[in-house]
Every structure is written in C-alpha cells, then in structure tokens.
Amino acid sequence: MPHFIAPSLLSANFRNLQKDVEMVNRSEADWFHLDVMDGVFVPNISFGLPVIESIKEIATKPFDVHLMIVEPDRYIERFRQAGADIISVHAEACIHLHRSVSLIKGTGAKAGVVLNPHSTVNLLADIIADADMVLLMSVNPGFGGQKFIRNTYIKVRELRELILRKNSSALIEIDGGVSLENAEQLVEAGADILVAGNTVFNSSNPEGMISKLKNF
C-alpha cells in the first residue's frame, strides 16, 4: 500500500491560513493533520473547534485531528461535528482507553491512539485490534521543529509486529521531525502515514516538498 502524507497545519502561516489550506488541497497530500493542544497535557496551546470549523469550509481532504488534551472524551463528539474524520487520543491521557476508542467510533470517525516517545508499544496489546490507527510521536509533543528521535524506527517495527500478531488492521502514523532524510526509512520500517509540518511549510516549494515525500 502506498504511504499517506498528512501536512501539519501547526506549521502553516496563520496570517494567511487559507492560502496554505488551498495549497494542501492542490497537492498530493492525502489528509490534513490538525494538532489540538490545551496547555495542560502539553506545554503549548494551538487551536480548537472554531479554527477547525473554518478550515473545513475550504478543505477538500480528510481531517486527521490529534487531541493533545486532558479529558479528551468530553470533546470527541464536538470535534467530530467540527469536521474531524480521524480522531486520535493519547494513551497517556485516557484513564479508560477502550471507552475513548469506542466513543470515537460511535461518532462515525476513525479512532487513533497516540503514544509519546517514552511509552512502550506493549501498552497497546489489548486495544490494538480496536484501533484504526496508532500515532507514534517521534518528538516530545507540544512544539514543532524538534529533532527526530531515532528510536522511533525500532518502535515502528515493534508496532508492526504487534499489529500482525493481534490480527489488527491499524495503520501506523509518525509525527515529529519527519523529513526527506528519514521518510523512506520510516516507510520501510512499516509506517503508513507521515505527518510533516516544518519540512513542508518552511520549504521554498511546499507543494513540491509534499510530492517528494509522497513519491520517493
């Protein structure tokens, strides 16, 4: 299966967000990646429901919404109504992870589970068959532009083995420090979706960069 590219709008130009959204619409990207931060679960605040609703009016590709928030269950239905097609919650933020995954699926959205760099893949052994996607953070969540954590390659392989062993159909997504230097190696290790923020939006040719990430 060819891999997916999901540009992260956290790195877009917020002075002219419509221009960057329209660029992603035109590009070979598959999804929009939207990072929602509350300043509690992670030490940063990004954007929330009103911004996502506004983007949805002009976006033509699915919304991959990554909730970096405490008590995500309280907001799942609202993010679905705002336009989320995939909703991912952190295993570290969910006391009852199976319940959270079930809530997401109950809205009709695809359910993703996120692991921070320090969390082991084995934490997902009892939920992997229910998840549609697992997002491995390859930097510590909260800020763009961080250095890629190389241990991610090992975690991708471990996660792929777990998915096969549990007969799961979950896709593997990587977020943090993705670039042309590591994209091919991540896909070879087993990644299905690459999230790219600074690599795309700091490029002199963002649309061309998306094409390179898609077609290496």
Structure tokens at 3: 């891999």
Residue 110 DSSP SS3? strand
* pLDDT mean over 159-178: 97
* pLDDT mean over 210-214: 98
Provide the strand spans (E) within the chain: 4-7, 32-37, 63-68, 86-90, 110-115, 133-137, 171-175, 193-196
Read off the DSSP letter of residue 154. H
Q: Does domain 4-214 have CATH number 3.30.1180.20?
A: no
Read off the DSSP letter of residue 27. S
* pLDDT mean over 95-121: 97
Q: 175 an active-site residue?
A: yes
Sign of the alpha-carbon torsion through 192, 7, 10, 80 = negative
Catalytic residue among 20, 30, 38, 175: 175
Catalytic residue among 35, 64, 132, 192: 35
Measured CA to CA, the distance from residue 113 to residue 91 in angstroms comes to: 6
What residue ranges do the domains of the chain occupy? 4-214
Measured CA to CA, the distance from residue 33 to residue 24 in angstroms comes to: 11
**Distance separating the N- and C-terminal Cα atoms of the chain:** 14
Q: Express each pLDDT in 36-58 by its tens digit.
A: 999 999 989 999 999 999 999 99
Read off the DSSP letter of residue 87. E
- At 141 the pLDDT is 81
The residue that leads in pLDDT, 140 or 178, is 178
Q: Which residue type does 205 have?
A: N
- At 145 the pLDDT is 66
